[in-house]
Structure 1
């Protein structure tokens, strides 16, 4: 039976993205008023922000058939074989990843692979992975 974990969402991060997108547009409207270019730019930014918001709220991690499946909005990642996971560690790395929060964990797997994610309940998530593969070094226990 699959077990699904949703990404923790950092609303501060989402608000920052909103401000970066729309502050220049609002300032331009105040300075120059509305015109066709500003309306088209605004529509484009609304669509783009909707796409980003969808990715924030539809990021999920599913554990099924000894695989960790990661979905970020419309995108899916190659499943990770849980038997290949070596280590789970808390990280503050801000690199782009399928994580909608800065409260992140790093999963090292295979020979040199790693991925950063942000499950809402990272301790339960890591515990479930280690129940499947007891060889995983779970560094969240001490964090």
Structure 2
């Protein structure tokens, strides 16, 4: 089953606000004549690349409870965690960098590390994970 990532409003404002502000500064400098076309091409291209990359992350972050593994997808990140390796999972507000677009997260500890994810429906995700990982310590609080 596929779970999309919960997306915090404040995060979207920061990400897309900074993109908009950078684009505004570049275009306004060009229009006002402070820089010529040659000087503004690099910042404009950099903005376009940044917009594409952030959009890629924003629209392709999801989690799949497959038959034998948990699949975490976020832009270029494609992590697969076999259920037999999952040790525990619990809700958290951990702000560490991760393939999660919200601070309402789930911390999944597995044999070789941990993953922080933010499915929209954390309770349903944990419930389904518990079914697939009866050996794991799954906490709902």
How would you bin the TM-score normalised by the shorter chain?
0.7 to 0.9
CA distance in 2, matches of 1:70, 1:116: 10
Deviation at 1:39?
Answer: 4.3
Structure 1 SS opposite 2:91: strand
Extract unaligned runs of 5+ from structure 2: none
Q: 2:14 aligns with which of 13, 16, 41?
A: 16
Deviation at 1:21?
Answer: 3.6
Deviation at 1:85?
Answer: 1.2
Residue 80 (structure 1) aligned with residue 78 (structure 2)? no
CA distance in 2, matches of 1:127, 1:85: 14
Q: Which moved more, 1:98-107 or 1:6-15?
A: 6-15
Matches within 5 A, 1:41-60: 41-60=43-62
CA distance in 2, matches of 1:23, 1:48: 12
Contact 1:25 1:38 in 2 (8 A): no
CA distance in 2, matches of 1:92, 1:23: 29
Deviation readout 1:56-94 (Å, 9 max, x if unpaired): 1211111222201111124312x1111221211222222
Contact 1:66 1:82 in 2 (8 A): yes
Contact 2:22 2:47 in 1 (8 A): no
Q: Normalization by structure 2: what TM-score?
A: 0.82
Aligned to 2:132: 132
Q: Normalization by structure 1: what TM-score?
A: 0.81
Deviation readout 1:10-38 (Å, 9 max, x if unpaired): 23212202233443553465567253223
Q: Which runs of 4+ in 1 moved over 4 A?
A: 27-32
Superposed CA RMSD in Å reads 2.2
Structure 2 SS opposite 1:116: strand
Aligned pair count reads 137
